[in-house]
Amino acid sequence: MARPASVFVASSTIDAPAERLFAFHEEPGALERLTPPWQPVEFVERPPNIKNGSRAILRVGPWPFRIRWILEHRGYVAGREFSDVQLSGPFRSWKHTHRMTPLGLRACTLEDRIEYQLPFGALGDLLGGWYVQRKLTRLFEFRHRVTAEAMREP
């Protein structure tokens, strides 16, 4: 029987139209801007865009334990959402959906939903589940703060 994926969701109201927020995610360097300075990430290959099939290759984790992480963009819906799906990397499975939902003309909801499975089955869940949730909470507090600040820029 397959284990169900763990789910993490971060949601914020952003004072910008959904289309503008989506355009921010399409800008070159957006991923780097949304990566906290404390996060041990090396960008090996940057995706040319966030459309279906484009890939990012990262090295994550502290040296000497760096792991190559290959992500592919899928589910592109212009102005509304896209996903990053792990092709190989530190998780057994990983799907991160970025969704921008309009709240009238001047605001939107930014939702980051991550469905993942840790390696090593139930043992991985037991030993690492709380740790991953804590790391994701800190990461997305940073990302949503940076995003909200970027939307206040002229």
Position 126 scores a pLDDT of 55
126-137 CB burial, b ≥16 within 10 A, e <16: eeeeeebeeebe
Position 127 scores a pLDDT of 61
Q: By C-alpha distance, which of 125, 147, 115, 135 is closest to 38?
A: 135
Position 1 scores a pLDDT of 57
Yes or no: domain 6-35+73-152 corresponds to CATH 3.30.530.20:
yes
DSSP characters for 97-111? EEEEEE-SSS-EEEE
Residues of the chain with confidence (pLDDT) below 70: 1-2, 120-128, 154
Q: What global pTM score does this model have?
A: 0.92
User: DSSP label at 122?
Assistant: H
Position 5 scores a pLDDT of 80
Domain ranges of the chain: 6-35+73-152
Position 123 scores a pLDDT of 55
Q: What is the pLDDT of residues 73-103, one digit of tens each?
A: 999 999 999 999 999 999 999 999 999 999 9
Position 125 scores a pLDDT of 62
